[in-house]
Amino acid sequence: MKNIYKLLLAVLIILLTTTMHSQTDNGWTIMYYGAGSNSSELDLFNDINGMIKGKQSKGYEAITLIDRIEGFSNDAKTLGENFTDTKLYKFDTGSYKELSGRDILPEFKKETSYEANMGDAYLLKRFIKYCKTYYPAKHYMLILRSHGDGWSMCPDDESGTEDFLYSTELSDVLSVDESVDILGLDVCSMAGLENFYEWRPNKTSFSVDYILASAPVSEAWDYNNIFTRLQTDEKISKEKSYFEEGKEKNLDPFKMTPNQFSKLLIEEIYDSQKWSSWGLFDNSKIADVKLKIDELARLLSEEKKVNIYSIIEKTTGYYHEKKEGKVIQEIAFPYIDAYDFSQKISNHQELDQKTRTKAKEVCEIIGQLIVYSYFGGKGPLPKKDNFEEGKNGVYLIAPLGNKTDALIEGTFWEYAKAWYSPYDRKDNQAHGLYDWCSDGLDTENENVDNFYEYLDFLFTK
């Protein structure tokens, strides 16, 4: 009889321990990297106000590293003072708490001022390590919040020389230990295949499972509504979901999966900025996209160059701002819709049937990469009548490479290669080292091996 009591007691202890464990362990840690050493500082406090007001539930932590600069916002209320340096904070229900950086970020002390370079990828690396060490969770989301132009983000010129976080720099500096379930690119123009491939899921380097990004210009997320929907009470909203049947619903942060959370995010992004274009991407498909596009590139090298160049000219492009001159946009933002480009190839009657069939395969795999996408087509965006949700919304780098203009030296392709390259471009105030360009490249043969090499072939007379 005593043995039975002992057994029951042991089971009870296990059950109690398991219950306590499940109630206290966080499901998520959300890491918000607010690079406000630029005009985006005006919007950062809307984000933070939204987080503080919206966070009403346990089950997740919200940690931010925020940098400010003089000359934009004078907000002294949101975080208690009008500082112009860099600080660490933790947000709770209706409140905030300044943090010290401890041994991982020792330069951040409550009693002293420190001006950080948010364009330093090693700072981002340590911020992620800090959050994972002191606020461990089952899942992690990283939000990069600032400006973006397609190949760089989070500009910071307070350190004396303007610095950026380059998309390829993240994969060079961050390691597998800094990998996250969701990467939220709350910046403009980063929804490119070349970027996603840098962060493809793997077990040896920095990787991301789900990505939220915009192909053109965009606005900040509505963090108030996002955080409000993170509730242990998974009640149904009155708001109809744009992407799925039925109503939007709250998610329990203790239980929600990366797939569920990322879908909630794209719902709220759509609700708050219907005019823009955003996508949710399943990054487990990006390696297959790369493989198919490289196969297509090898077939394109057998086609007449004039046909492919004409297709690039006619493919939907993603520009940063409508008010800029067309030529400036073509030079600075050589981004064409990947699905539209492939679809035009598949429908081009003068191309070989093998090429057209392969282009259809590319369209299919891009459709698997894109979980959801939408295009508003208002404000500063050019109108696009042929946007198909769930298919369009991610771009491919492909400039009008033969063109020249007095604004630059050489051709548009030569200008793009100053940053878009398999080689080190740090001397050009860029980064280079795109895996998209180098993987599959064979410089020893005279064949086209991947899409980057095809572009070089296409634009070389």
Q: What is the DSSP string of 74-92?
A: ---STTSS---SEEEEEEE
On the question of pLDDT at 12 being above 50, the answer is: no
pLDDT at 318: 87
| Tokens 């520009």 -> residue | 319
The DSSP secondary-structure symbol of 192 reads: B
Euclidean distance between CA atoms 117 and 342, whole angstroms: 40
Instruction: Give the number of other CB atoms < 10 A from CB of residue 388.
Output: 16
User: Higher model confidence: residue 282 or residue 324?
Assistant: 282
pLDDT at 372: 98
User: Of the candidates 41, 99, 104, 38, which has an alpha carbon nearest to the alpha carbon of residue 65?
Assistant: 99
Segment holding 402, helix H or strand E: none
**E-strand spans in 100-246?**
139-145, 152-156, 163-166, 180-186, 208-214, 236-240
| Tokens 């980064």 -> residue | 431
On the question of pLDDT at 380 being above 80, the answer is: no
Non-local CB neighbours of 409 within 8 Å, separated by 6+ positions = 415
Tens of pLDDT, residues 406-431: 999 999 999 999 999 999 999 888 99
For the record, the structure tokens of 62 come out as: 């919200």
State the pLDDT confidence band at 15, using cuts at 50, 70 and 90: very low
State the pLDDT confidence band at 17, using cuts at 50, 70 and 90: very low
User: Of the candidates 160, 156, 158, 218, which has an alpha carbon nearest to the alpha carbon of residue 184?
Assistant: 218
Distance of CA 281 to the CA centre of its chain: 9
Euclidean distance between CA atoms 451 and 435, whole angstroms: 12
Euclidean distance between CA atoms 226 and 30, whole angstroms: 12
Euclidean distance between CA atoms 312 and 320, whole angstroms: 18
Instruction: Give the number of other CB atoms < 10 A from CB of residue 214.
Output: 24
Q: Are 101 and 129 in contact (CB under 8 A)?
A: no
Tens of pLDDT, residues 332-348: 999 999 999 999 999 99
pLDDT at 272: 95
Euclidean distance between CA atoms 221 and 238, whole angstroms: 20
Half-sphere exposure of 246 (CA within 13 A, CB side): 6
Tens of pLDDT, residues 174-192: 999 999 999 999 999 999 9
Distance of CA 210 to the CA centre of its chain: 9
Residue 443 burial by Cβ neighbours in a 10 Å radius (0-12, 13-18, 19+): exposed
Listed in sequence order, the DSSP H helices in 216-352 are 223-228, 258-272, 286-300, 305-314, 326-332, 338-346
Tens of pLDDT, residues 63-105: 999 998 876 877 878 888 888 889 999 999 889 999 999 999 9
**DSSP of 30-70:** EEEEEE-SSTTHHHHHHHHHHHHHH---SSEEEEEEEE--T
Q: Are 227 and 141 in contact (CB under 8 A)?
A: no
Euclidean distance between CA atoms 257 and 230, whole angstroms: 12
pLDDT at 6: 52
pLDDT at 322: 59
Three-state DSSP at 118 gives: coil
CA angle 48, 176, 28 (to 5 degrees): 35
Euclidean distance between CA atoms 211 and 286, whole angstroms: 11
Q: Are 223 and 54 in contact (CB under 8 A)?
A: yes
Strand 370-375 with 277-282, pairing: antiparallel
Tell me the C-alpha to C-alpha distance, in Å, between residue 278 and each of 166, 198, 374: 20, 20, 6
On the question of pLDDT at 11 being above 60, the answer is: no
Query: Which amino acid is residue 128, in one-letter code?
Result: I
Q: Are 292 and 300 in contact (CB under 8 A)?
A: no
CA angle 296, 289, 293 (to 5 degrees): 15
State the pLDDT confidence band at 18, using cuts at 50, 70 and 90: very low
For the record, the structure tokens of 24 come out as: 């206290």
Euclidean distance between CA atoms 146 and 42, whole angstroms: 10
